[in-house]
Structure 1
Amino acid sequence: MNATHSRIGLLDIPWEGHWTAIAIAPVSVPTPAELTDLLMRFLAADPASPLAATIDAKSRRWNAVPVAERQDFLRRAIVSGDDPDLEKMSEHIDRYRPDADSNSPRIVLGQHSICLYHSHMYGDASSFSQLVVQLALGHQEGLSGLEPRAGLAVALRTLIRQPGSSYREWGKLGLRPVKRIINRRTTSRVPIRSSTTAENAAWPTAVPAATAHVPAIQGKTAFADSILTNAQLRDLTRWRNQNCRGVSLTSVLIAATYRATMIEGIPMNPAGYYSLFDIRRYVPANSRDAAKKFGNLAKSVFLDADMTDPFSIGTAMEQVIESGWALPGLVMGALTTGIRRTTHDGPPVPDGPVTLSFVSMPTLPGLAEVPWLGEGARRYCGVGYPVGRLGISVFAIRLRGHMEISASFDSTVLDPAAVRRAVGGLTDPALLSQLTVAGHLAK
């Protein structure tokens, strides 16, 4: 890898201009000075890592920060901030969001919290989960273990290993394996140096995006978040077992989200939804690619379904998983996007229904290692932005005591209060009674 820059991979280019933010609290975290010291050592070993680099959109490269500028770069990227209100995590993410034209990461450290912002071109939700946990732990060895990132070669090799039955279903794609030699680098763990009080006192403080005179939600994309307690999840599971047994809880949540947004007066697309499908499930466990799990290895797929019917939603999801269609879709999407001059949005989208994107994760890599503090409330809130003006992107992740629900949407099109009410009322019995299940139960 070149010591000054590295080319942005073909799997990553489709995510150009998109960002991921994750906030976790309450957790044990290093101080800004300690984390800077850690990343200085990390960059000394891997100077071209995109973890702490700037983005050159024109040349589609990660530009490594020159040695003489690293300290100042990291002091701008790693800042002190307040701890979030655990009932308003998405407001915390919005408050410290970097400027829209930012081309470098940001890490906001509270006394007992961490909030990470980074380009989606660096990795998907599975990847960022591992990254934010290793940053909170302050593990140089853990950060080094995230490399090398998975590129198009991993997806291609996985594609050609699929059985002939899959190819017959996909059609002949004519793909050939591409070999890639990756130099693995290991770094011994070095204890974090303790910082002095003076160092911490002089550290930059993040300037919140919101002030007393500016609304908390700014710009095009806004966020909302809620939780489903274990008691609510048990009630939802009981309703599912009584009304649509055999359907996944995710399918019920998707249908409930659709109905909740419709009840709030949001004109939703009734014909289907988007979801992300992780191709890591198709990588053979005994292959050389099994360890290359960091990167963008998820493909967005639109599924035709009756959005009021959990059975229809679940059937569409099962068909994509069983066919493995996301795998050739990921490869072809990367190849076609890679030859375009730009991935920016085209002409404004005309008015029409809002399409739901819903991603549910039973868990994420690294969650078992989160350095939680105490046994009380815990929050893990993740969002992606920007979101298309006619879309709502919902992310659900299961923690020990509850399920996290977060949503991203265009606040110039949709009423933020309506979206918050929708994501906060997914287990309302009156809402669930409006889902289409009677026809299936009668069969």
Structure 2
Amino acid sequence: MPSAERRYRSTALDRVFADTRIVTAVGPVRGLDIERTRHTLTAAEHVDASPHIALEPRSDARLWRYRTDIAGDNVTSDTGPTDDLGQMLTDIRSRNGARGPLEVVVFDEHLALDYSHGIGDGQIGVMMLAAFCDDADGSLVPGLAAGLPPSTTWKALWRHYSRNPKTLADFWTLRSRHRPVSDASGPRRRIENWEADKVSRVGYMSRARVDELKHWTAENLPGATAASVSIALWSAALRAEAVDVDDHVMVLFNSRRYLDPAQQSAHGNFAVGIPLHLPADTTPVAITTTMREVIESGWPIAVLGMSQLRDVASRIRPSAQSQEKNSVVEVPETLRLAVSDLGRVRVFDHLDWVDDGRPPQMAASLEPDGPDGCTMLIAEIAGGRTYTASFCSKMVEVAVMDAALRRMCEDPVALLRDAH
């Protein structure tokens, strides 16, 4: 039953994401146990009176309740196959029935979460996976309760722009330079009931290939970051499979970088997508330069500030769940990409991986915002990288997406060399 004592004042971004789900999984891990997982979840609920993990997100309300007894029938076991992580995420997402704010599925050697994005962005998802797999010393549980204070955005804005006032002009310049231009005259496609055809596919780049890519990048693309290389690789892989890719790529930035270090581990929705104009001939070094300009200008935190201002002046929108969704949509033939690179995920370093030839992996499906959207989540664990693409199979065939993932993961150096 919902608790009546405390309420959480949701942000505009919280409510935008309240009806969106994130499905994520990690494995293969030894020693998973459903009762231990329930115990860990219960412990997280009781860390303090307002544990962020216990939120009950609603898109039609500013004040959200905290649930109690959150480790009940929402923690289940499953004996289904886990060799194909993309299919596993797709199956979890497409289950019948109503969904609670947080659901945990314990497989033999994998653990999966299906949670409302309203609870928080990917940071809380990663922390929950790590804690529910193994938190024997209790060190991870307290971190699941910490939420971002209501004043976080304003303090971050002041912290950045009071120290770097000239970057406000840089923000407006960059925003204008990368502003997407809509083209209503291009070819379009009608897609019916696209949400039923959302799927996730997973590619894996071995440690040897990752090392090879890092060495080649250091020699030939000095200054390029892993994230910029991933963006260039994914765009090139899709274009090599004859997919028409939009020149604007939505790159996810974690705005916690603008916070005081003491607050950077707190949870909420504090990551934003920034649309960057990155045509096919944009090199990873140029992408790195653009991303650095975005960060230094404060663009991500400025977006959060503007959303807060609009929210103050607006009325609450009706819940998306109560609206009748249009079963037929018309979209451009061009695929829009959104990329989130988590980098090296060290919070899993304590896990006891199963040594049976399968690599340690974390996969996650991020909901595309339309049938012409494709999200990519990248996570590096134990030296190998996992790439999860989520998209509408009526827009791009699964076989084409699988081929692009193979092309990117099997010989990334050749792909980069050919593209640039």
Into which bin does the TM-score normalised by the smaller protein fall?
A: 0.7 to 0.9
CA 1:13–1:79 in 2, change beyond 3 Å: closer, same or farther?
same
- Kindly indicate whether the alpha-carbon contact (under 8 Å) linking 2:210 and 2:383 is maintained by their aligned counterparts in 1: no
Name 1:435's counterpart in structure 2. Answer: 419
Task: Give yes or no for the alignment of 1:131 onto 2:128.
Answer: yes
CA 1:31–1:242 in 2, change beyond 3 Å: closer, same or farther?
closer
CA 1:291–1:42 in 2, change beyond 3 Å: closer, same or farther?
same
CA 1:280–1:370 in 2, change beyond 3 Å: closer, same or farther?
farther
CA distance in structure 2 between the aligned counterparts of 1:4 and 1:164, rounded to whole angstroms: 34
Decide which of 364, 367, 370 is 1:388's aligned counterpart. 370
Shift of 1:422: 0.7
Name 1:313's counterpart in structure 2. Answer: 287
Task: Give yes or no for the alignment of 1:341 onto 2:329.
Answer: no
Name 1:273's counterpart in structure 2. Answer: 249
Q: Which deviates further from its counterpart, 99-108 or 383-392?
A: 99-108
Name 1:245's counterpart in structure 2. Answer: 222
Rg bigger for which structure? Answer: 1
RMSD: 3.2
Secondary structure of the corresponding residue to residue 309 of structure 1:
coil
CA distance in structure 2 between the aligned counterparts of 1:283 and 1:394, rounded to whole angstroms: 26
CA distance in structure 1 between the aligned counterparts of 2:103 and 2:270, rounded to whole angstroms: 23
- Kindly indicate whether the alpha-carbon contact (under 8 Å) linking 1:264 and 1:422 is maintained by their aligned counterparts in 2: yes
Kindly provide the amino acid, as one letter, of the partner of residue 90 in structure 1. Answer: G
Shift of 1:333: 2.4
Decide which of 185, 189, 196 is 1:219's aligned counterpart. 196
Decide which of 333, 341, 345 is 1:360's aligned counterpart. 341
Quote the sequence identity (%): 19
CA 1:243–1:41 in 2, change beyond 3 Å: closer, same or farther?
closer
Shift of 1:77: 0.7
Decide which of 382, 388, 400 is 1:418's aligned counterpart. 400
Shift of 1:329: 1.4
CA 1:92–1:370 in 2, change beyond 3 Å: closer, same or farther?
same
CA distance in structure 1 between the aligned counterparts of 2:44 and 2:223, rounded to whole angstroms: 48
Shift of 1:335: 3.8
Higher helix share: 2
Shift of 1:128: 1.4
Shift of 1:115: 0.5
Kindly provide the amino acid, as one letter, of the partner of residue 363 in structure 1. Answer: R
Task: Give yes or no for the alignment of 1:90 onto 2:66.
Answer: no
Shift of 1:116: 0.8
Name 1:24's counterpart in structure 2. Answer: 26
C-alpha distance after superposition, 1:221-275 (max 9, x if no partner): 21011111122123323443454333224323312211211222321112x2111
Secondary structure of the corresponding residue to residue 196 of structure 2:
coil
Alignment of 1:123-272 (within 5 A): 123-138=120-135, 142-164=140-162, 166-170=164-168, 219-270=196-247, 272=248
Shift of 1:108: 0.6
Q: Which deviates further from its counterpart, 19-28 or 76-85?
A: 76-85
CA 1:411–1:93 in 2, change beyond 3 Å: closer, same or farther?
same
CA distance in structure 2 between the aligned counterparts of 1:264 and 1:392, rounded to whole angstroms: 15
Shift of 1:28: 3.7
- Kindly indicate whether the alpha-carbon contact (under 8 Å) linking 1:48 and 1:63 is maintained by their aligned counterparts in 2: no
Kindly provide the amino acid, as one letter, of the partner of residue 317 in structure 1. Answer: M
Kindly provide the amino acid, as one letter, of the partner of residue 118 in structure 1. Answer: Y
CA 1:100–1:393 in 2, change beyond 3 Å: closer, same or farther?
farther
CA distance in structure 1 between the aligned counterparts of 2:233 and 2:45, rounded to whole angstroms: 46
CA 1:171–1:42 in 2, change beyond 3 Å: closer, same or farther?
same
- Kindly indicate whether the alpha-carbon contact (under 8 Å) linking 1:136 and 1:371 is maintained by their aligned counterparts in 2: no
C-alpha distance after superposition, 1:139-192 (max 9, x if no partner): 66632333220144122212212254633332599xxxxxxxxxxxxxxxxxxx
Kindly provide the amino acid, as one letter, of the partner of residue 280 in structure 1. Answer: R
Instruction: Give me the TM-score of the superposition, normalised by structure 1.
Output: 0.76
Decide which of 299, 304, 310 is 2:272's aligned counterpart. 299
Secondary structure of the corresponding residue to residue 434 of structure 1:
helix
Kindly provide the amino acid, as one letter, of the partner of residue 431 in structure 1. Answer: L
Secondary structure of the corresponding residue to residue 115 of structure 2:
strand
CA distance in structure 1 between the aligned counterparts of 2:97 and 2:336, rounded to whole angstroms: 24
Name 2:181's counterpart in structure 1. Answer: none
Decide which of 58, 61, 65 is 1:59's aligned counterpart. 61
C-alpha distance after superposition, 1:398-419 (max 9, x if no partner): 1113111111112222211111
Shift of 1:2: 4.6
Q: Which deviates further from its counterpart, 126-135 or 368-377?
A: 368-377
- Kindly indicate whether the alpha-carbon contact (under 8 Å) linking 2:217 and 2:224 is maintained by their aligned counterparts in 1: yes
Name 2:115's counterpart in structure 1. Answer: 118
CA 1:75–1:257 in 2, change beyond 3 Å: closer, same or farther?
same
- Kindly indicate whether the alpha-carbon contact (under 8 Å) linking 2:148 and 2:263 is maintained by their aligned counterparts in 1: no
- Kindly indicate whether the alpha-carbon contact (under 8 Å) linking 2:79 and 2:107 is maintained by their aligned counterparts in 1: yes
- Kindly indicate whether the alpha-carbon contact (under 8 Å) linking 2:44 and 2:53 is maintained by their aligned counterparts in 1: no
Decide which of 289, 313, 326 is 2:300's aligned counterpart. 326
Shift of 1:390: 1.4
Task: Give yes or no for the alignment of 1:282 onto 2:278.
Answer: no
> After TM superposition, where is structure 1 displaced by more than 6 Å over at least 4 residues in a row?
none
Structure 2: give runs of 5+ residues left out of the alignment. 172-193
Name 1:183's counterpart in structure 2. Answer: none
CA distance in structure 2 between the aligned counterparts of 1:78 and 1:162, rounded to whole angstroms: 41
C-alpha distance after superposition, 1:409-432 (max 9, x if no partner): 122222111111112211355533
Kindly provide the amino acid, as one letter, of the partner of residue 301 in structure 1. Answer: I
Name 1:350's counterpart in structure 2. Answer: 331
CA distance in structure 2 between the aligned counterparts of 1:155 and 1:349, rounded to whole angstroms: 36
Higher strand share: 2
Secondary structure of the corresponding residue to residue 362 of structure 1:
strand
CA 1:428–1:298 in 2, change beyond 3 Å: closer, same or farther?
closer
